[in-house]
């Protein structure tokens, strides 16, 4: 199994641009989530999904959209990037309570 995969690894955006961060898992996990990690801080939950077709907001959802059309994929969309969204983004999936993380996407918004 590849586990949780994320693309791209690194991205630079200009303010106002849009992009989609991709996340996929091949473990047939129902639960998937997106976190952001800022320097000196722990991970903060952006959005999560308990199964295909079901999504909900986490702690810091503003500026981000998600959808879950399949069990495997959980993309995160930035509709209009802002410098405050410069961060490292991690996707995670789980069957039970233990979440397994992808390698992350480092995003820089200028």
Partner 1 sequence: GESVGLHLPTLSVQEGDNSIINCAYSNSASDYFIWYKQESGKGPQFIIDIRSNMDKRQGQRVTVLLNKTVKHLSLQIAATQPGDSAVYFCAEKPADSWGKLQFGAGTQVVVTP
Indicate which single residue of 63, 65, 75, 101 sits in contact with partner 1 (rule: CB under 8 A). Answer: 101
Indicate which single residue of 1, 2, 14, 40 sits in contact with partner 1 (rule: CB under 8 A). Answer: 40
Shortest distance, position 15 Cβ to partner 1, whole Å: 26
Write out the E strands in the chain.
4-7, 10-13, 19-25, 31-37, 43-51, 54-57, 64-66, 76-78, 87-94, 100-101, 105-109
Does 1 interact with partner 1 (rule: CB under 8 A)? no
Indicate which single residue of 23, 25, 31, 87 sits in contact with partner 1 (rule: CB under 8 A). Answer: 31
Indicate which single residue of 45, 52, 63, 75 sits in contact with partner 1 (rule: CB under 8 A). Answer: 45
Q: Is 23 exposed, middle or buried (0-12, 13-18, 19+ CB in 10 A)?
A: buried
Shortest distance, position 24 Cβ to partner 1, whole Å: 14
Could you tell me which residues come within 8 angstroms of residue 96 by beta carbon, excluding any fewer than 6 positions away? Answer: none
Does 41 interact with partner 1 (rule: CB under 8 A)? yes
């Amino acid at each position: 199994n590849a586990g949780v995969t994320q693309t791209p690894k690194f991205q630079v955006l200009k303010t106002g641009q849009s992009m989609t961060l991709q996340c996929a898992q091949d473990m047939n996990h129902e639960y998937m989530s997106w976190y952001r990690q800022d320097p000196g801080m722990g991970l903060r939950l952006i959005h999560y999904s308990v199964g295909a077709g079901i999504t909900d907001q986490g702690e810091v959802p503003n500026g981000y959209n998600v959808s879950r059309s399949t069990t495997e994929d959980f993309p995160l969309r930035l509709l209009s990037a802002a410098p405050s969204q410069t961060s490292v983004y991690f996707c995670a999936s789980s069957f039970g309570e233990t979440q397994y993380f992808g390698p992350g996407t480092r995003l820089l918004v200028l």
